[in-house]
């Protein structure tokens, strides 16, 4: 039997790593891989033992885009029947923080998958881009929306309209990547930051992620109201009492997610 297209492991307490595993196709996002990713992310969202998710590829590619051979002869009806938008929405709805560890190519759907993440740890030499325009189509997984939100309209239009790529270091300098590090440090750093987050209160972490993502689509006053209500809600948790007691007592807190 061939290896599964998605490998799942837990490299540290509270951290689940999902590794795209189609090396022969530079981890191109086939429908099989997309569905496996949705299933794994959904499971992680509902597993109380999982506090952070890492998305990773291999040294050559995070994900080099959609599987072009699989769609070259598809019709409009064929594409509609695949329900790709719903798969993207399911991936985006992960309630746990998602850290993308990006090495090699992150193009097209691969770039969009990274953009869905909450943090991106990129190799200095990783290659990001939305090259769809070069094969007669446009991004279909949020690239026209999330890339603009991440780096601004005029800069994003340069990459969207020409299909040219940019490095992980450039992604960091533009504000798209959280950090840019040497290639051999990408997964080390991704695991370190994921473990740091996993040690915090999962209730506070999930509330923070929810407020940030929802607030992006709200007027400032509405977003601040949402933030305040989430803050007040956390004062009913044991983690809040533990966190403040530990601060006062000058010791490390022991968060239980209660």
User: Do 183 and 207 belong to one domain?
Assistant: no
Instruction: Report the chain's mean pLDDT, rounded to a whole number.
Output: 94
Spatial CA neighbour of 95 closest among 141, 143, 50: 50
User: Do 187 and 107 belong to one domain?
Assistant: yes
pLDDT tens-digit profile of 72-111?
888 899 888 888 888 888 888 899 999 999 999 999 999 9
pLDDT of residue 65: 85
Pull the structure tokens for residue 38.
């949705």
- What is the model's pTM? 0.93
Residue 213: give the domain boundaries.
202-248
Model confidence at 1, pLDDT cuts 50, 70, 90, reads low
User: Do 66 and 143 belong to one domain?
Assistant: yes
Domain assignment of residue 256, yes or no: no
Domain assignment of residue 65, yes or no: yes
| pLDDT at position 242 over 60 | yes
pLDDT tens-digit profile of 18-35?
999 999 999 999 999 999
> How many structural domains is the chain composed of?
2
Tell me the catalytic residues.
66, 109, 112, 132
CATH number at residue 234: 1.10.12.10
Domain assignment of residue 237, yes or no: yes
């Amino acid at each position: 039997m061939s290896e599964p297209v998605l490998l799942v492991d837990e490299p540290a307490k509270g951290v689940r790593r999902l590794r795209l595993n189609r090396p022969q196709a530079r981890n191109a996002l086939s429908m099989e891989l997309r569905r496996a990713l949705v299933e794994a992310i959904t499971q992680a969202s509902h597993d109380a033992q999982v506090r952070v998710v890492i998305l990773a590829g291999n040294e050559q590619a995070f994900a080099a885009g959609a599987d072009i051979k699989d769609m070259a002869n598809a019709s409009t009806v064929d594409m509609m029947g695949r329900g790709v938008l719903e798969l993207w929405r399911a991936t985006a709805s992960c309630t746990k923080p998602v850290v993308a560890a990006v090495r090699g190519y992150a193009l097209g759907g691969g770039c969009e998958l990274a953009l869905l993440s909450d943090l991106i740890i990129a190799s200095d030499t990783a290659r990001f881009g939305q090259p769809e325009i070069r094969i007669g189509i446009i991004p279909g997984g949020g690239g026209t929306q999330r890339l603009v939100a991440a780096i601004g309209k005029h800069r994003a239009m340069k990459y969207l309209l020409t299909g040219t790529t940019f490095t992980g270091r450039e992604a960091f300098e533009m504000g798209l990547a959280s950090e840019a590090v040497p290639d051999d440090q990408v997964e080390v750093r991704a695991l370190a930051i994921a473990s740091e987050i996993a040690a915090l209160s999962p209730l506070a972490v999930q509330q923070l992620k929810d407020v940030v993502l929802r607030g992006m689509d709200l007027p400032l006053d509405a977003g601040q109201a949402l933030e305040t209500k989430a803050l007040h809600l956390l004062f009913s948790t044991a983690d809040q009492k533990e966190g403040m007691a530990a601060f006062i007592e000058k010791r490390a807190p022991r968060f239980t997610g209660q």
